[in-house]
Chain A
């Protein structure tokens, strides 16, 4: 088994489009949540959403973007930044040992646009050449593959809100097993009302509209639902020995990946599923629970989901949990992107020397009690970290990372 190094990160997030601005937002508690006027007009129960701002799409040509929905361009931007950080040049990626796995579970807007184009133009050839490639959930990896010319693994993993947690974990496994030497992995999530309207109809979104910045309240007694969000996050993983040999700056080591599923309900997480993923990740990492000093929770701010995660955390860590924060207080729930985003956010904290508070948390209720939730940002880098993500249908991912 090979060791797995993290050598690059990149992100396009509602907190910012580069590591410095995202780091500043995490450190200072700046929210990326806004009210979308169109959702108000359309009668959404909650018009709150994360929003990507000031993104320059001209990094790719119009022809290149023709086959890419907006979130695939975000994914490219984050991958490009992560690769630049890693120091890997184009040539070192263009071989059988370099691969791609991203988490993504929809390309809703593109699917709608192609139908609208057909109805408007009256013939299928009027839809245009790009829509088929834009509307597939594998759009990110198929487009990145043609842009970056990697020749190894190339697929997209769909498992709802744990998609990119599993994508990073599976990419690490491929390296661990010796099947790939380097992986560009991550997750991407579209941001538009079309993809969120039926989710809004479930009543699962926060309706605290007075102050968008405080609407998402993970683990807090007054939490009333998640705030949908999105963007793209990329992580470069490499075989540790090869990264060392080429003199790369190693940001951290991905020590363990655990997965599990609930085998229970569609939308209500079980009281043991995530704990089995955490235990599996810890076992692979070789670390004891007491060695984890920071847990980046999945916690989306839904009443049932946060309580279930709290139960799962207590199952694994007992009465003495690590420091815990839930970054979705600032970012909202980045859905397919969230698992990889947590890896990037924690790596940013490790690089920039702080551990972000769990903002918007005032007090626990009976369901979320017993966790060591950080109330103020600490000027200390996280060292050994556990990142959780969980998705509809009860699919769970846990990653254990040791930062350098």
Chain B
């Protein structure tokens, strides 16, 4: 999977789960302030990412540190690199 494909899968999965407008989903978009997610949504975000990429997310502190869409992209890329 290329980096672009990973980002596309992340963005499309989150857009579907949280009914987000793709135009708002810039890498620097803050999940909470710009995209309107709340702390409960991060629970479902983890489930969505685990489902999309078939891995388990156990780094709860790292997840809590995520603020922007780019943070998610980097987090997932890092996970994929670890697995490969």
Interface of A with B (CB < 8 Å)?
61-63, 66, 125-126, 128-130
Contacts and interface: CB of A to CB of B under 8 A. Distances in A.
Nearest to B20: A63
Interface string B12-49: 00000111000000000000000000001101101100
Contact of A126 (B18, B40, B41, B47): B47
A68 to B, nearest CB: 13
Contact of B46 (A62, A63, A125): A125
Nearest to B48: A128
Contacts of A63: 18-19, 41
B19 A128 contact: no
B43 A125 contact: yes
Contacts of A62: 17-19
Contacts of B43: 125, 128-129
B18 A128 contact: no
A65 to B, nearest CB: 10
A63 B43 CA distance: 13
A45 to B, nearest CB: 39
A81 to B, nearest CB: 24
Contacts of B19: 61-63
Interface centre among B17, B40, B41 (most CB of A within 10 A): B40
Contacts, number: 22
Nearest to B17: A62
Nearest to B56: A123
Contacts of B41: 63, 129
Instruction: Name the interface size band of chain B.
Output: 10 to 19
22 contacts: A61-B19, A62-B17, A62-B18, A62-B19, A63-B18, A63-B19, A63-B41, A66-B44, A125-B43, A125-B46, A125-B47, A126-B47, A126-B50, A128-B43, A128-B44, A128-B47, A129-B40, A129-B41, A129-B43, A129-B44, A130-B40, A130-B44
A61 B16 CA distance: 12
A253 B50 CA distance: 55
Nearest to A122: B56
Interface in B29-84: 40-41, 43-44, 46-47, 50
Contacts of A66: 44
B4 to A, nearest CB: 27
Nearest to B16: A62
Interface centre among A61, A128, A129 (most CB of B within 10 A): A129
A99 B47 CA distance: 35
A146 to B, nearest CB: 11
Contacts of A126: 47, 50
Lowest 5 A-B CB distances belong to which pairs? A129-B40, A129-B43, A129-B44, A62-B19, A128-B44
Nearest to B40: A129
A148 to B, nearest CB: 18
Contacts of B40: 129-130
Nearest to B42: A129
A111 to B, nearest CB: 18
B40 to A, nearest CB: 4
A130 B43 CA distance: 9
A179 B59 CA distance: 49
A66 B19 CA distance: 12
A66 B40 CA distance: 11
A391 B81 CA distance: 60
A128 B48 CA distance: 10
Nearest to A132: B40
A130 B17 CA distance: 13
B52 to A, nearest CB: 14
Contacts of B44: 66, 128-130
B27 to A, nearest CB: 22
B53 to A, nearest CB: 15
A313 B60 CA distance: 62
A61 B19 CA distance: 8
Nearest to A123: B56
